[in-house]
Amino acid sequence: MREIDFNDNDLNWDKTNGLIPAIIQDAKVGTVLMLGYMNKEALEITLKTGRVTFYSRSKQKIWVKGETSGNYLKLKTITLDCDSDTFLIMVSPEGPTCHKGDQSCFKSNNKLNDWNILQTLETLILSRVREGSPDSYTVSLLNSGINKVTQKVGEEAVETVIAGLMESDEQLCNEIADLFYHTLVLLNCRKLFLADVLTVLVTRLNAKFVRIDRISNKNRRIR
């Protein structure tokens, strides 16, 4: 469900010379993906279609993000800032946002310690698929079919269990890393994304917190 927290009367297009900057943020993991600009038409198209649409200042025309690459930005919510001259748009990205193949147009200066490393790895897998290099292990694995991909996930899961019981901490971490990678390849094989899994986790956590709140409220009533 798409939500906005403003109405047409809140927007002063004259103040912004007909263009309002829009900060685009991943609704699942909070990563800032890009900055674009919207005019009235771009906003109307975005709300109507659910695909984030901008006005290109350089080409002076409307453009739908992803219309060339297929990496659309699925609209979740639009929030207007306190001065009514900037949008914060929460989206579900359907693939990398940056035209260079990166998840975000903003680079991290410390990728080795980036908690979004799984997103970075997923982006790398997507880029390997687009390139289609025969020398790529990812490409050869995907070309071998879903049976082979799921077999590899099973093998890595077994190796993780064995490492957990018998190997060093370092080896266990190595096996879990392999399992993460092959799981992302399996998601790609099924045309799914890491965000789809995160949605399930968020839903479960929200349900858990609701149950805890209910128990807490019940206990307070008993007292």
- Express each pLDDT in 50-88 by its tens digit: 999 999 999 999 999 999 889 999 999 999 998 889 999
Return the CATH superfamily for domain 113-192. Answer: MazG-like (1.10.287.1080)
Q: Do domains 3-93 and 113-192 have the same CATH topology?
A: no
* Residue-range domain boundaries for the chain: 3-93, 113-192
The whole-number pLDDT of residue 211 equals 61
**Who wins on pLDDT, 217 or 107?**
107
Is the model's pLDDT at 221 over the cut of 60? no
For the domain spanning 3-93, the CATH number is 3.10.20.810
Q: Kindly indicate the confidence band of residue 115, based on its pLDDT and cuts at 50, 70 and 90.
A: low
Residue 89: exposure state from Cβ atoms within 10 A (0-12, 13-18, ≥19): buried
% pLDDT > 70, the chain: 87
Average of per-residue pLDDT across 157-185:
97
Please state which of the ranges 43-47, 106-110, 128-132 shows the lowest mean pLDDT. Answer: 106-110
Distances (CA, A) of 94 to 9, 16, 73, 85, 189: 32, 30, 6, 27, 15
Average of per-residue pLDDT across 97-114:
72
Is the model's pLDDT at 42 over the cut of 90? yes
Is the model's pLDDT at 123 over the cut of 50? yes
Distances (CA, A) of 58 to 37, 53, 63, 126, 129: 11, 15, 11, 28, 31
Of 30, 55, 26, the C-alpha closest to 43 is: 55
Average of per-residue pLDDT across 113-130:
80
Q: Kindly indicate the confidence band of residue 214, based on its pLDDT and cuts at 50, 70 and 90.
A: low
Is the model's pLDDT at 174 over the cut of 80? yes
Average of per-residue pLDDT across 155-181:
97
Cα Rg of the chain, angstroms: 22
Is the model's pLDDT at 196 over the cut of 80? yes
Average of per-residue pLDDT across 137-144:
95
Q: Kindly indicate the confidence band of residue 140, based on its pLDDT and cuts at 50, 70 and 90.
A: very high
**Who wins on pLDDT, 14 or 188?**
188
